[in-house]
């Protein structure tokens, strides 16, 4: 281990990262709350200490040099690990205090957070959970940069090298307008029944799209050209008579019931997604996040599936019953 003093400071690394993000010395100085001459002087000292030029700058723009790209990437890691070190020290007495920043994908957040939040508040009253909604790729990037402490997403997506704790399995169901032949049958559906059916899916970037597309491709279904930006838009298009779709069971009570769509479960083993809480390897919050995941998993397991047989036209059968009910609570 090198015990000699380093020729630069963490603050200088912060300035370099700020300039790289802003591509502007003046904007970076504003973000760091220092004067631009002071920030520029610190960057110059850092470049002298490292013996490498980090930025190309003129009156119009600031660019990273090839060496700067590599050094700033390493600086991000050093700063993230430094933040983790401080966080570890602060939480050494009780890791379940303070704030934890958790990302969550859009096809989970409206349906899962409301189910698990009450139990988390009861179990960890000194803990503040800050939720951030975005797509999987963005959340994983922010997790790696240290902007998030954890993320709730599907393990079937590309999530990289992270630690994880499973919350539960969320099977997919077949959703179509009342009276559609695919949802009139009482027995669970086989994936093969989707062959040549017109199916609506989410837009690119949603991991649920990739998972549903894999099911449809296996069945040789035909994807319609329109791609929805959200699950509410998806079910509304189906309700208007534009094909059929797949939904995560977790979303059915809200989306299919609102749109008065019929639901038919798939035969076992049903396609679906594995919901998990993930975090960086060696995170100082690992033990706390494992406990949070365990409590969230207990709340998820308490969700009681209602019958999912297809709704049929006729008296008393005009409205599709929700697939998910909260046990012991009014929904």
The per-residue b/e assignment along 221-230, b for 16 or more CB within 10 angstroms, e otherwise, is bebbeebbee
In this prediction, what percent of the chain has a pLDDT beyond 70?
90
Cα(314)–Cα(312) distance, integer angstroms: 6
More confident residue, 14 or 197: 14
Residue 192: which H helix or E strand, with range?
Answer: none
Query: Which pLDDT tens digit goes with each residue over 221-247?
Result: 888 878 888 999 989 988 988 889 999
Query: Per residue in 144-198, pLDDT tens?
Result: 988 999 999 999 998 999 999 999 999 999 999 988 888 888 899 999 988 888 8
Q: What is the mean pLDDT of residues 107-123?
A: 93
Distance of CA 36 to the CA centre of its chain: 37
Q: Tell me: the pLDDT tens digits for 25-77? A: 999 999 999 999 999 999 999 999 999 999 998 777 899 999 999 999 999 98
Determine the average pLDDT of the residues in 320-326. Answer: 29
Per-residue pLDDT tens digits for 256-315: 888 889 999 999 999 999 999 999 998 888 999 999 999 999 999 988 654 444 343 222
Residue with tokens 């110059």: 44
Taking the C-alpha atoms of residue 309 and residue 198, their distance in angstroms, rounded to an integer, is 21
pLDDT bucket at 92, cuts 50 / 70 / 90? low
Distance CA 220, CA 201 (A): 14
For CATH 1.10.10.10, the residue range(s) in the chain are 10-82
Architecture of domain 98-168+274-305 in this structure:
3-Layer(aba) Sandwich (3.40)
Which range (17-21, 139-143, 223-227) has the least confidence? 223-227
Cα three-residue angle 253-298-268, rounded to 5 degrees: 60
- 95 vs 312, more confident: 95
169-273+308-326 CATH: 3.40.190.10
pLDDT confidence tier of residue 93, bands split at 50, 70 and 90: low
Strand partners, 172: 248
163 touches 283 (CB < 8 A): yes
d(CA 28, CA 32): 6
Domain with CATH 3.40.190.10 in the chain: 98-168+274-305, 169-273+308-326
Tell me what pLDDT residue 319 has: 27
State the CB neighbour count (10 A cutoff) for residue 189.
18
pLDDT value, residue 288? 92
Q: Give me the mean pLDDT over the 84-91 stretch.
A: 76
Q: Which pLDDT band holds residue 132 (cuts at 50, 70, 90)?
A: very high
For residues 250 and 200, give the distance between their C-alpha atoms in angstroms, rounded to a whole number: 18
**Which residues lie across from 265 on neighbouring strands?**
173
DSSP state of 324: E
On whether the pTM is more than 0.75, the answer is no
User: Which fold, 10-82?
Assistant: Arc Repressor Mutant, subunit A (1.10.10)
Q: What phi, psi does 2 have (nearest 5°)?
A: -80, 115
Tell me: pLDDT of 114 over 80.
Answer: yes
């Amino acid at each position: 281990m090198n015990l000699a003093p380093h020729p630069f400071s963490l603050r200088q690394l912060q300035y370099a990262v700020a300039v790289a993000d802003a591509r502007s010395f003046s904007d970076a100085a504003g973000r760091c709350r220092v004067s631009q001459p002071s920030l520029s002087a610190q960057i110059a000292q850092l470049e002298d200490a490292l013996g490498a030029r980090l930025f190309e700058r003129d009156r119009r723009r600031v660019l990273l040099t090839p060496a700067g790209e590599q050094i700033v990437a390493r600086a991000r890691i050093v700063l993230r690990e430094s933040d983790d070190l401080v966080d570890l020290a602060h939480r050494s007495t009780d890791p379940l205090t303070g704030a934890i920043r958790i990302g969550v994908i859009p096809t989970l957040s409206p349906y899962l957070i409301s189910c698990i939040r009450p139990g988390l508040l009861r179990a960890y009253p000194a803990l503040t959970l800050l939720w951030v909604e975005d797509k999987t790729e963005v959340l994983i990037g922010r997790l790696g940069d240290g902007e998030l402490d954890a993320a709730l997403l599907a393990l079937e997506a590309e999530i990289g090298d992270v630690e994880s704790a499973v919350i539960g399995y969320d099977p997919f169901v077949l959703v179509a307008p009342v009276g559609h032949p695919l949802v009139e049958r009482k027995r669970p559906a086989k994936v093969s029944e989707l062959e040549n059916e017109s199916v609506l899916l989410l837009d690119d970037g949603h991991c649920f799209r990739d998972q549903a597309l894999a099911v449809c491709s296996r069945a040789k279904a035909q994807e319609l050209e329109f791609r929805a930006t959200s699950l509410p838009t998806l079910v509304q298009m189906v309700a208007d008579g534009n094909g059929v779709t797949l939904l995560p069971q977790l979303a059915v009570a809200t989306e299919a019931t609102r749109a008065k769509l019929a639901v038919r479960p798939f035969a076992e083993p049903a396609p679906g997604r594995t919901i998990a809480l993930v975090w960086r390897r060696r995170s100082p919050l690992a033990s706390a996040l494992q406990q949070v995941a365990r409590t969230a998993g207990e709340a998820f397991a308490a969700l009681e599936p209602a019958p999912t047989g297809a709704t049929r036209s006729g008296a008393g059968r005009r409205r599709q019953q929700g697939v998910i009910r909260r046990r012991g609570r009014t929904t």
